[in-house]
Amino acid sequence: MRGFHSKLDSASMGGVAVPLNLAVETEKAQALLQTFSSASLLASAGLGLFCLLADHVLQAPFVLQHVWLRALLDNGVHGLIGLWSWAIVIGLRKKSDFYEVALAGFLASIIDLDHFYLAGSLSLKAALNLPHRPPLHCSSVIPVLCFSLRLLMWALRLKDSWCSLPWMLFVALASHHVRDGTRHGLWLWPLGHTPPISYWLYVTITATLPHLCSVLMYLTGTRDMISTKHGVAIDV
């Protein structure tokens, strides 16, 4: 970030640099404040309510009788929670934000395919009766994957516009694991499994996770890049 700032300073030449830096700092502060704005808090309350409603629907006798329908709806709920969570993190301000939240939903949903991968079959019965949990459901894998992605982006020198991708992966995977954790607990290899997460703890963590992610992004400087990116775009 320091390099980015100095580039801005030198590009804007002398006296103009101060207002530009001020504008960048204001953008950063606004980006953090946005995560605790009333709209954002309302959106996470809505997310908590959505969890309650979705689980109510999944317990309906008609859904319970149809195993494939239940599996698809359950997977859809994972996707919608991932999508919703990322929308709270970034806020929906421009067209590309909608693509981002769709990708977050896709990531939160797609990891259930590892059930079929481990089963070596498309049989739902086989996928649901595995001898152990599939690899992408190991919560220790989340930081490894996110850091690896960050390193890969650094190695490929991807632009700042990609900087939030590891955090998107984090939100998508963590929200999925917490939801699954109500049934199986969290698998923290090599330490073992936690007891199942209580239902209300799951709802609370799900509704809080986007805000936690926003603060962590701010602390690690990722939010600087996002807001700077927006700031520059606005200035142009």
Q: Which residues bind Zn ion (CB under 5 A)?
A: 112, 180
Which CB, 100 or 112, lies closer to Zn ion? 112
Closer CB to Zn ion, 89 or 186, in the complex: 186
Residues 6+ apart with CB under 8 A from 132: none
> What helix, strand, coil percent values describe the chain, rounded to 5?
80, 0, 20
Q: What's the closest the beta carbon of residue 70 comes to Zn ion, in angstroms?
A: 13
Place of tokens 């504008």: 23
Measured CA to CA, the distance from residue 192 to residue 142 in angstroms comes to 15
Q: Which is nearer to Zn ion, 141 or 215 (CB)?
A: 141
Q: CA 81 to CA 104: how far, in whole Å?
A: 9
What is the maximum span of the chain, computed from C-alpha positions, in angstroms? 70
By beta-carbon proximity to Zn ion, the closer residue of 27 and 112 is 112
Spatial contact of 40 and 49, defined as CB atoms under 8 Å apart: no
In this complex, which beta carbon is closest to Zn ion, that of residue 180 or of residue 224? 180
Judged by beta carbon, residue 150 or residue 177, the one nearer Zn ion is 177
CB of 214: closest distance to Zn ion in angstroms? 24
Report which secondary-structure segment, H or E, holds 193. strand 192-193
Smallest gap, in angstroms, from Cβ of residue 111 to Zn ion? 6
Residue 75 identity:
N
Determine the Cα–Cα distance for residues 60 and 178; give it in Å rounded to an integer.
22
Asked if 108 and 78 count as a contact pair (C-beta separation under 8 A), the reply is: yes
- Distance of closest approach, residue 206 Cβ to Zn ion, in angstroms: 14
Give min distance, CB of 1 to Zn ion, in A. 36
CB 176, min distance to Zn ion, A = 6
C-alpha span between 40 and 55 (Å, rounded): 23
Contact 63, 69 (CB under 8 A): yes
Residues in the chain: 236
Residue nearest to Zn ion (CB): 180
Q: How far is the CB of 142 from Zn ion (least distance, A)?
A: 13
The smaller minimum CB distance to Zn ion, of residues 85 and 164, is found at 85
